[in-house]
Structure 1
Amino acid sequence: MLKPVETIEILQKQPDSQAFTAGDTIFSEGETGKVMYGILEGKVEILVDGNVLETIDSGDIFGAGALVHVDHKRQSTAIAKTDCKLASLDQRHFLFAIENTPMFAVEVMRSYSNRLYHFKHDS
């Protein structure tokens, strides 16, 4: 059996990380998305229509949906719940990671699917 790839490990290899202060908006619903994020440190709230969908923390990823949808529009808002350090991956690097590490694609889909599952079952 293949060992699942840690998506955050791929993101940690990116040269530039970004710092956000608690309360900062990382991206907003409806914006054009150009990158996905991995949380290196801290917690992030994901909101849909102004309601908190979930709070995610170190080791999780978010924002990948904008890289796989044709229109690249964000379907949620992400706000730093605590001070955060985030790594990002643009579409070119995202596609490279998928091509060279197919389990990365599975892990991204799993994260996205889990988020949708919890949204449907927790609301």
Structure 2
Amino acid sequence: MKQTFIPTKHFIYQPFKNWLARFVQRAGIVEILNQHQQSQKPEGSPKCDIWDGMVWRCFTGTRNINEPLLMFIPGALDFSIYVDWLNAHGKSTQLASIGPIMLICHNLPPSERLKPENVYFAGIIPGPKEPTAFN
């Protein structure tokens, strides 16, 4: 007998390829990405951004040290993932946790990264409670 699976919850998401295509087609965005990627701080200046650290400036993405540095490959983008839990009812006494999943592009200048138009909103992990390691 064939076993069928019925989802217990719906997972709403936005395909990354579609968002990325819209993102890079926006007027001026490629120039902003390239400009920030090529900027360098003077040696000894305070570290204020992920790209200021030597680990990221020397990262190839592989174990092969002969590969080009990832941050200098044209078109290479670096994202961090952000997941948080919040009450879907705001500050209400009703509790229903949902978890938005977002990706932030580190190739943008820090002042541009968290603008809504620059954040990839991947999806929402449905509630009513946060998942545990077992579900």
Pair in the same fold by TM > 0.5: no
- TM-score norm. by structure 1 comes to 0.29
Higher relative contact order (CA 8 A, sep 6+): 1
| Bigger helix fraction | 1
Structure with greater strand percent: 1
Larger Rg over CA atoms: 2
TM-score if structure 2 supplies the norm length? 0.27
